[in-house]
Structure 1
Amino acid sequence: MTVRTVRGDIPAQALGRTDYHEHLFQISPLLPGDELDDEQRSGQEAQSLRAAGIEAMVEATPIGLGRDPAGMARIAERTGLHVVATTGAHRQAHYPDDHPLLASTEEELAERFTADLVTGMSSVDGSPTGVWAGLLKAGIGYWSISPFEHRVLAAVAAAHVATGAPVMVHLEHGSAAFEVLDELRGHGVRAERVVLAHADRNPDPGLHAELCAAGAYLGYDGIARHRDWPDSVILDCLLATAERGGADRLLLGGDVARRSRYRAYGGIPGLEYLPKRFLPRLVREGGAELADAIMRSNPARLLDWHA
């Protein structure tokens, strides 16, 4: 069992407690003024996550959004975090109309994604970094999949078939989950190799249990977004889904993703909110065994290239 991190391959069982979805570097026209672009500050934020007991994280920034492979590797080395980097592309809305990625063919996208996984990612200026990605990512809109997003899904699937790397899909507000799984299955990707990010933005335990029964992993990453609903809604959905047979298919992350929410950039609540504020509630209400499965066993199984 092997997980590909920015510092090389490690045994899946060596990951430890894993935050399945965060960002150390991210620049998007959808988030003006919330850029994560300072290695020192992002490193400080990562250190706070490590100090709070998290041992590994997925850095979920794909191509074209300020991804910094060398910076990730340096942060991993300084903090001791196992960092899994991401290739692929986000939903189309994150890219300006003249972004060159939008004009890429399915074959060109698949070649680039596979290269990131096998030979290493390039820096923003196109120079090689010698740092590998360990996860593939695609994204879709709210109940919509654009032609570009269809090409990305197909290209991600081709790269997965070629390498065995796991797949993450951004679901806007948790929509179109089964539709995405159907499309990926048509390209040769089993649901067991996919995590559906933001599933908890549609906190429906009945639907979630069905998705888990189909084999997919569900990413719960909407905590500390009290403008939408309290953390109790997410926790209750998680516990209800686990009770319905989904305990071995749930993952947790923060997806904080904004400088205004990172303590090292002057914001709150920071990456430490997940381990310090939410995980203790999960242990109290769901038990240590469930929390251990969600934070250790499940991410190790998903991120293993040969599962």
Structure 2
Amino acid sequence: MVTPRPASAPGHRTAPAGPTVRTVLGDLAPDRLGVCDAHDHLFLSSPQLPGQELADTAAAGAELHAFRAAGGTAVIQWTPYGMGRHAAELPRLARESGVTIVAATGLHQAAHYGPGVLEGLPTDPAALFVTELTEGIGAITGDDPEPRPRAGMIKVAGGFHGLDRHARRTMTAAAEAHRATGAAIGIHLELGTGALDVLDLLCGELAVPPDRVILGHLNRSPDPAVHRMAAEAGAYLAFDGPSRANHGTDWRMPDAVAALCDAGFADRILLGGDTTTAAARAVNGGPGMRYLLRRLRPRLELAVGTAAVTRMLTTNPARAFAAEWP
């Protein structure tokens, strides 16, 4: 069992009482999160996306300013360990843009790492996750101008219609880190599949409360029965990402969201943009982070009403990402 050290993060904002959202500038009362992109990336690098790295700090800042101009106030960056998070840049970007940023710890699928990265990890990565959640991301150096930003969530990944050995290892570590910190666990579902297998493992075998699990990419597999079963289990369902080739995407999302709302599960839905390539940035002609608010929000409002969509963008993420941190 991993036990976190007592958290004293000099330089971070004093935490309010009760559950808080852990941002790169400190802990924040959930009701201050505002309009939230619940799954996106400011920085990302993967062997699976050669030449499309999100590594340009100026472009990341431009995305945040465009998102802010569209009415957004918070972004949850799901980029985990070893994938070019640029964590040291996040506090400055948050201050300059006025957008709250939450960083992630965790691990993606093995295919997203170059040679030697995973081999250099401890046998049980739970200790790494806890350290990044409670003490900070990155190495401590004597000339750091400010404390290391802490992660505010755990991101792990399933496989296509199943869980391989790597997925089970990382989810087991995520469950242990959750027990030590209370952090929410976000799941990359490959093409939106395997949601029920993930819940069987995390919430069944590993006893993670379902309301601490966020299932990502459900818009990529618009299966209403699976959506309904996952919502009934108590998990959060993230519909995240603009239109992609070969996916059931934006044009089916309003129907999927409406079906969940009609069944009484509007409080389980999160919305995000999931920008993963340089070409997808607005500064490069792509949809960018602002697409969530400029294009998806009005389409969803036609389907389920303004009040429900506002709840998905504000109340739901505030509750989903808040934790009673140690």
Instruction: State TM-score, norm by structure 2.
Output: 0.88
Instruction: Tell me how far apart the structure 2 counterparts of residues 188 and 158 of structure 1 sit (CA, whole Å).
Output: 10
Answer yes or no: is 1:214 the counterpart of 2:233.
yes
Q: Could you tell me which residue of structure 1 aligns to residue 137 of structure 2?
A: 121
Q: Quote the offset at 1:267 in angstroms.
A: 2.8
Q: Quote the offset at 1:72 in angstroms.
A: 1.3
SS at match of 1:290: helix
Aligned CA distance change for structure 1 residues 19 and 284 (closer, same or farther; 3 Å): same
Q: Could you tell me which residue of structure 2 aligns to residue 146 of structure 1?
A: 164
1:137-286 equivalent positions in 2, closer than 5 A: 137-185=155-203, 186-225=205-244, 228-229=247-248, 231-264=250-283, 266-286=284-304
Cα contact 2:219–2:248 (8 A) shared by 1: no
Instruction: Tell me how far apart the structure 2 counterparts of residues 227 and 182 of structure 1 sit (CA, whole Å).
Output: 28
Which blocks of at least 5 consecutive residues in structure 2 are unaligned?
1-18
Which blocks of at least 5 consecutive residues in structure 1 are unaligned?
none
Aligned CA distance change for structure 1 residues 179 and 229 (closer, same or farther; 3 Å): closer
Instruction: Tell me how far apart the structure 2 counterparts of residues 29 and 100 of structure 1 sit (CA, whole Å).
Output: 12
Q: Quote the offset at 1:173 in angstroms.
A: 1.2
Deviations 1:57-79 (A, max 9, x none): 10110001101111111111101
Q: Could you tell me which residue of structure 1 aligns to residue 55 of structure 2?
A: 37
Residue in structure 2 matching 1:3, options 21, 25, 35: 21
Q: Quote the offset at 1:281 in angstroms.
A: 1.8
Instruction: Tell me how far apart the structure 2 counterparts of residues 272 and 148 of structure 1 sit (CA, whole Å).
Output: 34
SS at match of 1:195: strand
Aligned CA distance change for structure 1 residues 230 and 132 (closer, same or farther; 3 Å): closer
RMSD of aligned residue pairs (Cα, Å): 1.9
SS at match of 2:156: strand
SS at match of 1:134: strand
Deviations 1:4-33 (A, max 9, x none): 000000001110111001101111000011
Cα contact 2:271–2:313 (8 A) shared by 1: yes
Cα contact 2:136–2:148 (8 A) shared by 1: yes
**Deviation >6 Å, runs of 4+:** none
Deviations 1:244-287 (A, max 9, x none): 122110000010211001122x2312211110111012223211
Deviations 1:279-303 (A, max 9, x none): 0122232111111210111101110
SS at match of 2:80: coil
Residue in structure 2 matching 1:47, options 65, 71, 85: 65
Q: Quote the offset at 1:102 in angstroms.
A: 4.2
- Code of the residue aligned with 1:16 in structure 2: it is G
Instruction: Tell me how far apart the structure 2 counterparts of residues 3 and 262 of structure 1 sit (CA, whole Å).
Output: 26
Instruction: Tell me how far apart the structure 2 counterparts of residues 124 and 44 of structure 1 sit (CA, whole Å).
Output: 29
Q: Could you tell me which residue of structure 1 aligns to residue 44 of structure 2?
A: 26
Q: Quote the offset at 1:106 in angstroms.
A: 4.6
Answer yes or no: is 1:84 the counterpart of 2:102.
yes
Q: Quote the offset at 1:166 in angstroms.
A: 0.7
Q: Quote the offset at 1:227 in angstroms.
A: 5.3
Instruction: Tell me how far apart the structure 1 counterparts of residues 26 and 76 of structure 2 sit (CA, whole Å).
Output: 14
Residue in structure 2 matching 1:59, options 72, 77, 80: 77
- Code of the residue aligned with 2:323 in structure 1: it is W
- Code of the residue aligned with 2:116 in structure 1: it is H
Instruction: State TM-score, norm by structure 1.
Output: 0.93
Percentage of identical aligned residues: 39
Instruction: Tell me how far apart the structure 1 counterparts of residues 28 and 285 of structure 2 sit (CA, whole Å).
Output: 33
Cα contact 1:212–1:249 (8 A) shared by 2: yes
